[in-house]
Amino acid sequence: MHLAIRQFRQIALMLTLLIAFASSVALAQSGIGNGDSNWITVENVKKQGNTLIFSEVQIEGDGWLVIHPFMNGAPNGDRVVGRTFLESGTNSDVEIEIHKGIAAGEMMIVMLHSDSNKNGEFDFIFIDERNVMDLAVFEGATMIGHAIPAPFSRTNFLNNRLMPAPLHYQSLSTISEQIRARELSPVMLTEHMLERVNRLDADLLSYATVTDELARAQAILAEQEILQCNYRGPLHGVPVALKDLCFTKDVKTMGGLKVRRDFIPGYDATVVERLRNAGAVLLGKLNLTEGALSAYNPDFPIPKNPWGETLWVGVSSSGSGVAVAAGLCFAAIGTDTGGSIRYPSMANGVTGLKPTYGRVSRYGVLPLAESLDHVGPMARSVADVAAMYNAIAGFDDKDETSLATGPVIIPPLIGTELKGLRLGIDRAWFSNGTDTGLLQAIEKAILKFSELGMECVEVQLPQEGPMEYRNLWLPLTGYEAFQAHKDFFPSRAQEYGGYLRAVLEIGMKMSHAEYVEATQKRGEFNKRFNAELKKVDAVICPSGGMVFEVDSAAQYGDAEAMKEVVKHFQGQFTIPADLAGTPTLSLPCGFNDQLQPYVMQLLGNNLAEATLCRIGNAYQSVTQWHLCHPDL
């Protein structure tokens, strides 16, 4: 038996050295692989159940120990069946659990994927015979060489020198192209993101539930499909996350509500179903305020702003904003009823698209106020939110408010020419009570849009102040929220936080006639608002004011503490587009001296998502604010 193994190793060694030589030539020609390799030695390896135990592992340089199936001189299908990260030095009894078995006829190769290797080389530890899991004990053999060419290159995965930013801060669009070109493995990418979530989110608290098993299974499937030339599109193999309002089959969907703490739906929301169909990898569900209103239930954690833990994180899509900004997913689903995509985009410095009402299905999304609720994406760039939007938008016969008219897909965002488009400006409206630094950032953005060819036009939007907008919005929200919570309120009122309970009580006391009157006032406002929007292609304004410091008492809905928070909401910038159902695009546009983000907003006409994204992408093509990220 041992003789056969040694003979096999000699043959395998010869094959591997030949491949390594060819690889080294190719790598040298490409400018990679012209230096010393890291090294690793293993005393022995033994099997215990589905775990391989490596004894006395010595490693020079940090790196990943990764197990691949191996057949005919190359990784078989590039599957990864086990992995662990090692730090430089001696590591005793390193254990790797095998997540997926080795098929008959396959051999096993264990590689060191160097994290710090400046040349991007790999080190091979051993190659052994088929069905390695049937061996109780086998010897290790050290071998140093270059990477074997494989369907997915592992070099780009850990060698961040080749990238302008760390992998987890790359844009969805960049990651997507690398996956499509088989330069980046969805399996390795997902493992990297899960490791980062598990390491950082204990402090950031953006995730309500991490679906690691689901994510791994989806990543494996995505990798197999892509290798079989079954590429589904820009989200295929890309790790994303969901606001915990979206029904996800067999996964808790709590909505920040104590009354739904144990709720596990038996089906997917349409938006989740469409993300699955697009091949996205679902990392988990993201925390939010109670029922998607403005304050948190005392039984739920408050996400921490990655730019500063005492800073506000926005309202209900707070977990989505934090996860995107902190590099814990490449994009996230948010919802917006009074500003809950815009505020978290502003607070966390990310890009957010609130689509036209009815453009993205609300089926399977826990409602706050059905006539005001919008579902949309948050990500690092306009190109990223456009890719997400294209996957989730479109008519859905399961949602009675879903729109069946107008173009859905945002075409490829190419070029920066904006000649012929008109930018609406109402300085009297957006300057009232707005931070001076943010105003200066918006004025610089206006100049940039002008340089890109846009005609700047004065408009006059409805001049209601923050409280007037709130007084128009609150009765509608209270009445509709009470209808949505009838199964639990008031019968389980004691399980609600104070702020949501107060809003539900407003709705409970309203008559239908009062609701009709509020709806009529909304219609009158919408006519005035839309009339000004139609004069231009977009109106520029703040995304929702300026991020501010806030304590936990206010975020948990303490009545007195909330009064101070409400002053900062500046609902005149967010509520109008929810009342009118028109699309908006939030864009980072600078920072203050304390490195707190400035974010502006473009207001668009109904069904004008493509125009907004064209304008926003042109701006991001000539600026770099969206590329900035917290140092985490």
> Pairing state of beta strands 51-55 and 44-48?
antiparallel
Strands 89-91 and 57-60: antiparallel
Q: Is the peptide bond before 490 cis (omega within 30 degrees of 0)?
A: yes
- CA–CA dist 293, 156 (Å, integer): 41
- Other Cβ atoms closer than 10 A to 85: 15
Residue with tokens 């159940």: 49
340 classed as catalytic: yes
279 and 236 Cβ atoms separated by less than 8 Å? yes
Best CA proximity match to 63, nearest among 153, 150, 148, 155: 155
Of 176, 316, 318, 320, catalytic: 316
Helix, strand, coil share of the chain (percent; to 5) = 40, 20, 40
CA distance 345 to 322: 9
Distance from C-alpha of 382 to C-alpha of 585, rounded to nearest angstrom:
8
3-state secondary structure of 542: strand
CA–chain centroid gap for 116, Å, is 27
Rounded to 5°, angle at Cα 558 from 555 and 561: 80
DSSP letter (8 states) at residue 251? B
Task: Catalytic residue, from 173, 206, 243, 318: name it.
Answer: 243
Whole-angstrom Cα distance, residue 169 to residue 199?
Answer: 16
Q: How many CB atoms lie within 10 A of CB 548?
A: 15
Structure tokens at 392: 């989730």
Q: Is residue 578 a contact partner of residue 472, using CB atoms and an 8 Å limit?
A: no
Which of 114, 340, 361, 543 is an active site residue? 340
CA angle 236, 352, 413 (to 5 degrees): 60
Q: Residue 577's closest CA among 333, 344, 353, 332?
A: 353
Residues 6 or more apart whose Cβ sits within 8 Å of residue 137: 44, 45, 46, 47
Tell me which H or E stretch contains 450: helix 436-451
Is 588 within 8 Å of 598 (Cβ atoms)? yes
* Dist. CA 315–CA 531, nearest whole Å: 29
- Please write down the HEC assignment for all residues of 276-334: HHCCCEEEEEECCCHHHCCCCCCCCCCCCCCCCCCECCCCCCHHHHHHHHCCCCCEEEE
Distance CA 564, CA 569 (A): 9
Contact 86, 10 (CB under 8 A): no
46 in active site: no
CB 145 within 8 A of CB 91: no
Count of other CB atoms within 10 angstroms of residue 418 = 22
- Sorted by sequence, the CB contacts under 8 Å of residue 226 that are 6+ apart come out as 179, 180, 182, 186, 236, 237
238, 391 in Cβ contact below 8 A? no
Task: Please state, in angstroms and rounded to a whole number, the distance separating the CA atoms of residues 437 and 547.
Answer: 12
| Sole residue written with tokens 């509709």 | 480
Annotated catalytic residues are: 243, 316, 340
